[in-house]
Amino acid sequence: MHYTSTRGNACINSSQEAILKGLAEDGGLFVPEHFTYFSINDLKAMSEGSYIDVANRVLCRILDDYREETIKKCTSNAYSEGFENNEPAPLVKLNDNTSVLELWHGPTCAFKDMALQLLPELMTSAIKDTGANKTVLILVATSGDTGKAALEGFKDVEGTKIMVFFPEFGVSDMQKLQMITQEGANVHSVAISGNFDDAQTGVKNIFTDAKLIEELDRGGYVFSSANSINWGRLVPQIVYYFSSYAALLKKGVISCGERINFTVPTGNFGNILAAYYAAKMGLPVNKLICASNRNNVLTDFFHKGVYDRNRVFYKTHSPSMDILISSNLERLVYDLADKDCTTVATLMKRLKETGQYEIPKELLEKCSDLFAANYIDDEQTEKVISKYFHEYGYLSDTHTAVALGVLDRYREESLDSTHTVVVSTASPYKFGKAVAKALIEDHDPDQYTEYELLKLLEAKTSVKIPKPISDVIHKPILHKVTCSKDDMSNTLRKLLL
């Protein structure tokens, strides 16, 4: 498969290269030149297999320069152990026209595991095949979920090392604990005194520091990135849209070819873009409902065609969606513009310089049949958590609650009763404080430690705390390195060279 950059000035010949490179040299994102198509018979066949079978069918067709045997080995390594009950993406029925696709049964209890368990496998086999004889050094700046999922994904993966920088006081207690107790011989997590932007800027500086790159090259290292614009993180996410359709078919909830909706809690636009690509590849989709929190920049985009990041940034109960620049939206705009990379490059330049852009009316019309979008705030999120717990006995995390609340609004306005799959992105225990606030009225959450709160929540709901979260409390602290935001490259030298 050939790939081009959304901004037009880069072209490569294989998925392996796209996965190793991450970002194109011109600042654009890699997109495949054409998309494969899955027929009704393919969908039927998928309904007879396991998650790994579906993954093999989908990945072999998209990543066609990987050998079938290699893909099978990668998916087996990624999705067998480490996922609760060997079921990476169980579908839970809420009522006749609503199901929840739970993507958080992996080692870090958030949906980032779905991609970050597979990406290291795809990367290391690409390194072997392309003959690169170096240790791949993965650098990550994180505000929480990605760091832990990347550490867990690359842990003890041969030929790689990973270093995660997180803001010392900018992540939740649980997220910090998960990162500083990380096991593995090839992992480092470093707390920096600064915020997430400082961490991200520091990592970008390292990536472009010619002197450091040369020193590392001599030390046998080459950089790569595991962030969400990497094609190798997007492709694994296409799989579970097919697997959820297959599960509904198998249960007889829908008939083959019947269209369904997906509601996706959205931040960087990676997850919902994977749904869009699945639809392009033949998955019968009626609506993709893009759910946001109060940082509703995407809601405005789909309603008005204007992307405008010049607005107040809110810290919300759903921090993984507190984003004002949704990087992967660039790939949708490219598609809507019929691969007109000049238009994309112009719009992205405008975004960089002025913080906003507007797409032509025709482009907005092209996606308005498929996409719906809306948002809810923190107060409504708490009400949704309470409502779904009391009406359906379903305990959702704050991000999933945003999706459920937006689905409620969409149904009130549209009267659409199409079967809808709500994509659930985290265990409720990962964001326990806000969930406890919604359900335990007579307690002030600030009085308790995070672990005490989780125990209270468990007692109240009878939903068990997942093992990776209860385990982490008792693990020894293995990473104590801290550094100032200006000292990140020296810290890297000390730890690796």
User: What is the C-alpha separation between 394 and 102, in angstroms, rounded?
Assistant: 12
> Does 267 interact with ligand PLP (rule: CB under 6 A)?
yes
Give me the phi and psi of 75, to 5 degrees please: -70, -35
Nearer to ligand PLP, 137 or 336 (CB): 336
Q: Which of 14, 142, 420, 425 binds ligand PLP (CB under 6 A)?
A: 425
Please, are residues 126 and 19 in contact by the beta-carbon 8 Å criterion? yes
At 20, phi and psi to the nearest 5? -70, -35
Minimum separation from the CB atom of position 40 to ligand PLP (A) = 28
* E strand or H helix at 237: helix 231-250
Q: Which helix (H) or strand (E) covers residue 264, if one does? A: strand 260-265
The nearer residue to ligand PLP, 125 or 327, going by C-beta atoms, is 327
User: Would strands 135-141 and 98-102 be described as parallel, antiparallel, or unpaired?
Assistant: unpaired
Among 15, 320, 427, 491, binds ligand PLP (CB under 6 A): 320
Interface segment toward ligand PLP; rule CB under 6 A; list 82-90, 109-117, 362-370, 452-460: 109-117
Out of 266, 293, 381, 420, the only residue in the binding site for ligand PLP (CB under 6 A) is: 266
The smaller minimum CB distance to ligand PLP, of residues 157 and 426, is found at 426
For helices 297-304 and 361-368, the axis angle rounded to 10 degrees is 100
If the CB atoms of residues 121 and 145 are measured against ligand PLP, the closer one turns out to be 145
- 327 vs 343 by CB, closer to ligand PLP: 327
Q: In the complex with ligand PLP, which residue's Cβ is closer, 423 or 436?
A: 423
Taking CB under 6 A as the rule, does residue 100 contact ligand PLP? no
> Under rule CB under 6 A, which residues in 386-405 are in contact with ligand PLP?
399
Q: How far is the CB of 435 from ligand PLP (least distance, A)?
A: 12
CA-based nearest residue to 430, from 398, 387, 475: 398
Tell me how far, at minimum, the Cβ of 102 lies from ligand PLP, in Å: 12
Residue 271 as a binder of ligand PLP (CB under 6 A): the answer is yes
Burial of 48 (0-12, 13-18, 19+ CB in 10 A): exposed
307 binds ligand PLP (CB under 6 A): no
Respond yes or no: is residue 464 known to be catalytic.
no
Q: Pick the stretch among 134-142, 216-224, 267-275, 350-358 that binds ligand PLP (CB under 6 A).
A: 267-275
Would you say 145 or 152 has its CB closer to ligand PLP?
A: 145
Per the DSSP assignment, residues forming a β-bridge with 289 are 263, 372
Q: Which of 44, 73, 93, 112 is catalytic?
A: 112
Q: Max Cα separation, the chain?
A: 63
Instruction: Give the bridge partners for 83, in sequence order.
Output: none
Cα radius of gyration (the chain): 22
Burial 82-120 (b: 16+ CB within 10 A, else e): bbbeeebbbbeebeeebbbbbbbbbbbbbbbbbbbbbbb
Binding mask 138-157 for ligand PLP (x = CB under 6 A): -------x------------
Decide: 251 and 310 in contact? Cβ < 8 Å. no
Q: Which two tokens stand for residue 73?
A: 């080995």
Interface stretch with ligand PLP, choices 264-272, 302-310, 406-414, 432-440 (CB under 6 A): 264-272
Q: Which is nearer to ligand PLP, 42 or 113 (CB)?
A: 113
Minimum distance of ligand PLP from residue 270's CB (angstroms): 3
CB contact set of 443 (below 8 Å; sequence gap of 6+): 436, 456
CA 67 to centroid of chain Cα atoms: 26
Report 222-251 residues binding ligand PLP (CB under 6 A): 228
CB of 112 to ligand PLP, least distance (A): 5
* Chain residues 30-69 in contact with ligand PLP, contact rule CB under 6 A: none
Nearer to ligand PLP, 267 or 405 (CB): 267
Residue 279 Cβ, how far from ligand PLP at the closest point, in Å? 16
- Which position among 265, 405, 428, 466 is part of the footprint of ligand PLP (CB under 6 A)? 265
CB distance 59 to 234 below 8 Å: no
Question: Contacting ligand PLP (CB under 6 A), which of 74, 91, 110, 136?
Answer: 110
CB atoms within 10 A of CB 1: 17
Q: Is 105 in the site for ligand PLP (CB under 6 A)?
A: no
CA dist 99 and 103 (Å) reads 13
What token pair was written down for 458?
A: 């468990």
What are 296's two structure tokens? 């509703």
Show contacts with ligand PLP in window 165-194 (CB under 6 A).
none
For the record, the structure tokens of 16 come out as 């392996």
List interacting residues with ligand PLP (CB under 6 A). Answer: 110-112, 145, 228, 265-271, 320-321, 399, 425-426
Catalytic residue annotation: 112
